[in-house]
Structure 1
């Protein structure tokens, strides 16, 4: 089951919302801006690091939050029927996924949910599989909870990444291996796994009694004609899956710290619930309730336009590298707003590459932090006004030219 949320002819010129204005986030406590590395910090230039957006949230969401603030009492809140109805209708409408029989748990962020699931569904010494290069908290969560990290590295072939299914099968056979953390869509490589790929992965996990912890936080950010398939919507895969979703990436609401965890298997749900209650993480933040309801019921057009803007930014990146910096290569992305750029041709160590970028006022997420296969790459956050992206690309060009002049 899938839904196409991006189209090839999307263009920021056709938007009714504002995706061109630059917003000064300095001195707001922004991790991306106010904790940026020198010399980018305080320069007025936008870091292309942490995955939040440089776009104002949809006005429909802002209006709902302001109305909620005006109420005057910011008490404890929960996922009531209005909240659940908004989530249910969104998943059905956008992803053709009926979650009416799933249990919905609200947790203060997907990373928090990953930790809860690992502690609830595995024990110390169990093996957990990840597919690097991948979002760093996957490995961090496994290690911090004294589980054994098992890697099933992705294969880079013909400018796209593939799953090594034979390796996955062999590494999930041992009895001590209990879980796979699936990144779908994949951060940072931008793959939107096809239905066929997910079916093959799911059959391996089913055969080897593996619980799938599916991080689908980027599931609404799809472009280039790709389709996102909810892993738990296939066959009976929901019976061994914990699906993690949120409004944070989709609608630029990360600071509201609220994610929706969906589980259909009663035993898995009971264990997750018990762990979440032990850690007191089941409350919905007061403003997150209003924002989530508004996002899922009133901001759909904003999202459609955002996907067009993101796709346009990717196309700008591809064109610029092809014409100005052909020695560099951006992996062709199908989802997320995160570009994965192969810079190994520059012949630099990871530390030298980072130094070169910062010297030219480019704060990026270094590829090595994503684990095996990440060295020599840089992750770029493209959720920003196009004029800011153009300026960053010019700084990249200057960095490469300065390096070449010394060689």
Structure 2
């Protein structure tokens, strides 16, 4: 029913992913930014076309059907009962990070992250006047784990007010277990640390892994948690500005809402509203087909690398559609590795060092593309390694 093998000319769409930003990126296969190359579900296309055919695009409310779609999705897919008044909307998860800092942290206070992690975490924290604290993840036998001893020690600092969690984790692909989440939550509860959980990749989980919203652990944990979700990754809708921020604690929600209103981000555009309703109401079958296709792409990457370029190491993938690849055995520094990938391999990946110093020597590959494109990228990397 669904065909994800087609190749779309995304450069003709002015896609950020496909448009070179400097000369070395010319003629490279772009598998960097977290943006799928698949056509959106027909149900979403139809809903958007139907609405766009009505020639008035004025200010549009998020109707009750919008909130019902969000609530139903979280219940059906993730067994989390969300109340209508817990939900605030933002034009994306990146501004949601900034609003979290603005609503919780005073100048000079601290926010903790777990690198290597999505670069906007550190950026939004620092640009909004907070001090950055890191609790680096540990890579053990090809799988990342949390350093709980270090986390607990740093959480005791009375200046630490906020913790940015990423679940599923971008870029390392972990889906944190219930026990891991409970340990993090217990430490935050003991030390009066608010949790901001970026769960934007929550619909991409594989094998026996299970996505668990940290706020769903207990009423107490929910009271200290801001959960950021969006259908943008789930349904290939990255250009629409959309985000659903779920906060049970009324006082925290009011403070967060003040931050939203302070910059005037009080509404969503009509396309984001209609796409959200259509995706969460009718897009489940399409998503299941995408996940199946991604599982096959992941298997291809793992088997290809193991058989044909074992000098590169893969990290076990539990969630997201992003592969975290270890190139450290090539012995290149970050600048050389980046230039080699673009100039010799002609493959454009996300550079590991941008996720923190812990990502030095790594690259992130977006596998949400046609299998033939992914295979060609791997073959180019293989040829470039053999030419060294």
With the length of structure 1 as denominator, give the TM-score of the two structures: 0.93
Q: Which residue of 2 aligns with 1:7?
A: none
Q: Which residue of 2 aligns with 1:78?
A: 61
Q: Which residue of 2 aligns with 1:310?
A: 294
DSSP 3-state at the match of 2:229? strand
Unaligned residue ranges in structure 2 (runs of 5+): none
Give 1:167 shift.
Answer: 0.4
* Aligned residues: CA RMSD: 1.0
For 1:211 and 1:282, locate their aligned partners in 2 and report how far apart those are by CA, in whole Å: 23
> Does the 8 Å CA contact 1:101/1:264 hold for their aligned counterparts?
no
Q: Which residue of 1 aligns with 2:223?
A: 239
1:386 aligns with 2:354: no
DSSP 3-state at the match of 1:228? coil
1:337 aligns with 2:321: yes
Give 1:101 shift.
Answer: 5.7
Q: Which residue of 1 aligns with 2:352?
A: 367
DSSP 3-state at the match of 2:239? helix
Give 1:102 shift.
Answer: 4.8
DSSP 3-state at the match of 1:78? coil
Q: How does 1:268-283 map to 2 (within 5 A)?
A: 268-283=252-267
> Does the 8 Å CA contact 1:36/1:363 hold for their aligned counterparts?
no
For 1:339 and 1:226, locate their aligned partners in 2 and report how far apart those are by CA, in whole Å: 16
Q: Which residue of 1 aligns with 2:16?
A: 31
Equivalent pairs, count:
386
Unaligned residue ranges in structure 1 (runs of 5+): 1-15
DSSP 3-state at the match of 2:264? coil
Q: How does 1:5-404 map to 2 (within 5 A)?
A: 16-41=1-26, 43=27, 46-100=29-83, 102-235=85-218, 236-359=220-343, 360-403=345-388
For 2:231 and 2:169, locate their aligned partners in 1 and report how far apart those are by CA, in whole Å: 17
For 1:104 and 1:182, locate their aligned partners in 2 and report how far apart those are by CA, in whole Å: 19
> Does the 8 Å CA contact 1:28/1:34 hold for their aligned counterparts?
no
For 1:50 and 1:197, locate their aligned partners in 2 and report how far apart those are by CA, in whole Å: 28
For 1:113 and 1:64, locate their aligned partners in 2 and report how far apart those are by CA, in whole Å: 26
Task: Flag as ranges the 4+ runs of structure 1 deviating above 2 A.
Answer: 35-41
For 1:341 and 1:317, locate their aligned partners in 2 and report how far apart those are by CA, in whole Å: 10
> Does the 8 Å CA contact 1:37/1:363 hold for their aligned counterparts?
no
> Does the 8 Å CA contact 2:313/2:327 hold for their aligned counterparts?
yes
